[in-house]
Amino acid sequence: MAKSEAAGAPRGRSRTYPIWRRIALLLAVPLTALFVQWGIPAAVTVSNALQRFDFSTVYNNVAVPATQVTETLQEERAAAVQFLHQFKISDRQRFGDLVAKTDAAVAAFRKQALSSDTQDAMDDTMTTRVRELSDAYNHLITLRERVGIGGTTPLGAIEGYSQVADITIRLLTTLVSVDDRTVYLHTTALLHNFWAREFMLREHALLSTLSAGQMSASNRAAFAAWSEARIQYFELGRAQASGEIEQIMYDLANSGEFTEYTTLENNVVNNGIVPDPAEWRAAIDVLRPAWSRDAAKAESVVNNTDVRPAGRRIMLQFFVIGVVGLLGVVASVILSLLFARRLSAELRELQESAQRLANERLPRVVARLRRGEQVDVDAESPPPTTGRTKEVALVGEAFGTVQRTAVATAVAESDLRASINRVFINLSWRSQSLLHRQLRLLDQMERRAAGPEELDDLFRLDHLTTRMRRHAEGLVILAGSPTVRAWDHPVAAEDVVRAAVAEIEDYTRVELTGAASVAVTGDVVADVIHLLAELIENAAVFSPPTTEVTVKIETVANGLAVEVIDRGIGLHPDELDELNLRLEGGGEFDLIDTERLGLFVVARLAARHGVKVSLQPSAYGGTTAVVLIPHALVTLDDDLARGGPIPGTARTMVAAMATTDGRQRLGRPARPAIPAAVVRPQPDDTQDDPEDEPPAGPPPIVTSPSPTLDQPAPWFDDHAAPYDQTPSAYEETTPHYERTPSLDPPAVAFERPALAFGQAAPSDPAEPSGPRGDRLRPPAGDDEPVEAESSEVTGRLPRRVRQSSLAPQLRRGSAPQRAEPAEVAAPDDDFDEPSPELSRALMSSLQSGWLRGRVMDDEPDEPGPRDEWGDR
């Protein structure tokens, strides 16, 4: 097939060759030279060299410190036995000093033997023995406590310490695993000599506690076993030694001190008679240092004459064979480069072309498409560079096809996303138009409602509609378009949170706590409300209906923090981590994942304004959503009331109207409040909406000469009404979906503590109303109107008291005598003199209206609403 394609190629085209031919020529000679000249010898020498290095590391970091621990442990054993024999204070002091010395040696051993370098140099058996010895040192604590209180016998103490010594010697036995025969035999001889010396010291520890004469059967049996083991190991070591090592051990065995020791030892074993303690101690005091000197001398000889020369031979073999092999490898590489240079160049060019496609052209095309620019597929898909090798050329052509397909797919996907976004926005605008008309109709029905149950149902329907409106706004956010709502002035943070709570259905389950003396900048108020509403609604939906959702607001070092705490079943840690990653990313909306639309909305809004949103387990087993609004989006709330008239937008982002269920009617244009004691039906000053078609898009933006964040460019609309228009005229001339919330405080405002929405405020005059120390003013009587301080003084939004603004007939649970104030609303022909309290309430209402008029006169007359969705 390759030949036919080459024959059918045009004459002007360079001939291509199959890649296998070049690969065969490229690999044949280098691989042959590599494996024959260097592979096998190098493997052998490398193994020996690595074993040599590992042996040196293990010997220095394990054998040497373990031997030192054993020597100090032998001294501690002798001191412990001496203390158990006579219980002298001096013996106790010496025992304590040796315990400290042993602990220091154990710490040094663990530091070196358990290090990563040493662990890498040991095999599995050696690693197990090291950890076994390290654990055995921990058992010394119990043994020392028993010795200190005299809770064991001298023989028991000797056996306890000897168990640790046995583990140490077994560890040293595993180190003797080198391939050199001479090194192995001499090292084993030294190890057997070490065993023999250990059993001699056990005999000495036992006899030092006995008096001259007969010894017990148990002591005699132990002594006999140690003597037999000592003789066996000593003779085995002499048999394995050779040369200078053998001579050292021979001199020790024929020395006078060793002969005297063996005589006393045989007398004890054969006759069971304890020698004179002074005679025995004198013999051991001479033999022990001599034996230690000979052992050290033999160890030095092994290192200098056996271990080090063997290591030098191994390293010499490694370097010689390595250099020869390296020369072969270099020759092979040079020969291979002659054949592979052209192939490498072709593959490199193809690789660079593919990398430019993946790292430069495609990201650049995608970025341009996201910015809405037009992309020419042919211009952005140049053919990649191909070489003379046939397979490389075919791969290059395939890459060219892939490149063109990828660019065309990116363009098509961008067009599809743009179309989907336009569909989202169009659906959102249509839904908003219908929902705003529905909200206005509900507003009229609420005013005409006569019964509490009917009014309660209308309020629930009102909240459901508001929730639908927020979902419609979410489509615009998912489509990547900014929301239309905005404020010209900062809004108090607490009011922003209340507005978010009012946009969910189960607002009565939400408890707002904390306080923050800051305000949110006007241009991000709508998005912050939407973000918080999504989180609060999620907390309410995924928690039992009998539980509360706590919303905590406070000022922190990095800005404004809002915590939404539910009492649900919580989330799995893995799922919680995944959600936090999505919240941090704020990436593109994925049409496949349609179960977490609210998550995408929150992530988009957080990424748009730099707000940090994180989820974490709550103390109640549920989930806590923490929202951190940075300093750039907040301002001091005190600035709203410092000098001059207080801007209406900052004072009342939400008109707080009391209802039968105690909720806050957020975002409704405020009206001059009528005192609660005056039972006068509210006239219906609104007209039915015309059946207008839904708007084709958001209101156009007309920028002012120098817009700022505090005073941004106003929104203009054909049906917009100025801010200073009266409420009745405003409602008659402006469609409901275009209204901006009234920025004036109501005439009668109530400052109350943070309560769960739907919870009645305390009526006890002695109960404080909030963290600011304000108190509700007590009513003059059961039927007299309730008056509270106006929010006009502080510049903050009022807080309502449940059913305080309703007619007495509509209040729930009211006593029959509460209907008496209705006589005030009797016809004029049966009019009575108003009470002083009623006159005071009427004058307060008039004064509030005058203050609002003055504030409106001071504010600039800018037509057009900035908030399309601010009416609810």
Q: Running along the chain, 872 residues long, what does each successive block of 10 average in pLDDT?
A: 43 62 73 72 71 72 84 88 85 89 89 84 83 86 87 87 86 72 80 88 85 77 90 89 86 89 88 82 88 85 73 74 74 73 78 82 80 76 74 81 82 80 80 84 86 84 82 78 77 92 88 90 91 92 92 93 93 90 70 69 89 93 94 76 35 34 37 31 38 41 34 32 33 35 36 36 37 35 39 44 49 42 42 65 73 58 38 36
How much is the pLDDT for 340? 72
Residue 866 forms part of a structural domain: no
- In order of 401, 490, 521, 713, 758, the CA distances from 637 in angstroms are 61, 8, 10, 23, 26
Q: Is 453 exposed, middle or buried (0-12, 13-18, 19+ CB in 10 A)?
A: exposed
Same domain, 686 and 559: yes
User: Which residues have a Cβ under 8 Å from the Cβ of 708 and sit 6 or more positions away?
Assistant: none
Interhelix angle 154-175/124-138, rounded to 10 degrees, is: 160
* Structural domain boundaries enclosing 442: 437-762+790-814+834-858
Same domain, 243 and 120: yes
How much is the pLDDT for 806? 47
Residue 753 forms part of a structural domain: yes
Same domain, 603 and 730: yes
Contact 755, 498 (CB under 8 A): no
Same domain, 444 and 375: no
- Give the pairing type, strands 518-520 and 634-636: antiparallel
| Total count of domains within the chain | 3
What does the alpha-carbon distance between residue 130 and residue 810 come to, in Å, rounded to a whole number?
Answer: 85
Residue 337 forms part of a structural domain: no
Backbone angles phi, psi at 513, to 5 degrees: -125, 165
Q: Is 89 exposed, middle or buried (0-12, 13-18, 19+ CB in 10 A)?
A: exposed
Same domain, 404 and 445: no
Same domain, 270 and 383: no
Same domain, 631 and 522: yes
Q: The tokens of 165 are what?
A: 């010594």
Output the CA angle 508-777-759, nearest 5 degrees: 10
Residue 430 forms part of a structural domain: no
How much is the pLDDT for 595? 66
- Dihedral sign from CA coordinates of 193, 195, 197, 200: negative
How much is the pLDDT for 1? 42
Residue 777 forms part of a structural domain: no
Residue 838 forms part of a structural domain: yes
How much is the pLDDT for 802? 53
How much is the pLDDT for 217? 84
Domain edge (last residue) among 322, 352, 378: 322
Same domain, 295 and 401: no
How much is the pLDDT for 842? 75
- In order of 133, 134, 196, 496, the CA distances from 115 in angstroms are 15, 13, 31, 59
Residue 201 forms part of a structural domain: yes
- In order of 46, 50, 310, 327, the CA distances from 322 in angstroms are 9, 14, 18, 9
Interhelix angle 452-478/597-609, rounded to 10 degrees, is: 70
Backbone angles phi, psi at 632, to 5 degrees: -65, -20
**CATH number where 589 lies:** 3.30.565.10
Same domain, 643 and 564: yes
Same domain, 410 and 444: no
Domain edge (last residue) among 382, 415, 448: 415
What does the alpha-carbon distance between residue 771 and residue 757 come to, in Å, rounded to a whole number?
Answer: 17
Residue 628 forms part of a structural domain: yes
What does the alpha-carbon distance between residue 116 and residue 100 come to, in Å, rounded to a whole number?
Answer: 27
How much is the pLDDT for 497? 93
Same domain, 541 and 489: yes
Domain edge (last residue) among 385, 415, 445: 415
How much is the pLDDT for 780? 38
Interhelix angle 140-148/124-138, rounded to 10 degrees, is: 20
Same domain, 230 and 307: yes
